[in-house]
């Protein structure tokens, strides 16, 4: 990818993200009263993260099987409210171990 193209992407990302954060701070005095809009914005992060994680997680590693293992471990640890870094670490371990097993088969 050309450097200029990458820089344009980065510029777009940075500008849009910044404008979203800056506009209300500069322009809005009152709270958002509309219940639908408030609720919508509350649920958006969960919807976005969910949509981005599944099914992309299944192609994130070298093999679908190791990704599945990592996913299963991640979901389990997250289900038990384990800290961010624990969930991630154990998912990574699951992937690594699964790939070793696959190589031995």
Query: Interface residues for other proteins in 6-25 (CB under 8 A)?
Result: 6, 8-10, 12-14, 16-18, 20-25
What is the nearest approach in angstroms of other proteins to the Cβ of residue 105?
15
* The binder of other proteins chosen from 4, 79, 104, 105 (CB under 8 A): 79
Q: Which is nearer to other proteins, 85 or 105 (CB)?
A: 85
Binding residues for other proteins restricted to 30-59, rule: CB under 8 A:
31-32, 35-57
Residue whose structure tokens are 């820089």 = 7
**How would you write 4-41 as a 3-class SS string?**
HHHHHHHHHHHHHHHHHHHHHHHHCCCCCCCHHHHHHH
Binding residues for other proteins restricted to 58-77, rule: CB under 8 A:
60-63, 66-67, 70-71, 74-75, 77
Quick one: 90 exposed, middle or buried, by C-beta within 10 A (0-12, 13-18, 19+)? middle
With binding defined as CB under 8 A, does residue 93 bind other proteins? Answer: yes
Q: How far apart are CA 70 and CA 48, in angstroms?
A: 20
């Amino acid at each position: 990818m050309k450097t200029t193209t990458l820089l344009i992407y980065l510029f777009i990302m940075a500008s849009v993200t910044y404008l979203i954060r800056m506009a209300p701070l500069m322009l809005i005095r009152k709270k958002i009263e509309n219940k639908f809009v408030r609720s919508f914005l509350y649920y958006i992060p969960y919807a976005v993260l969910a949509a981005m994680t599944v099914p992309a997680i299944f192609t994130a590693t070298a093999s679908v099987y190791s990704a599945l293992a990592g996913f299963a471990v991640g979901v389990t640890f997250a289900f038990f409210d384990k800290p961010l870094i624990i969930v991630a670490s154990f998912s990574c371990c699951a992937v690594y171990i699964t790939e070793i097993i696959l190589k031995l088969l």
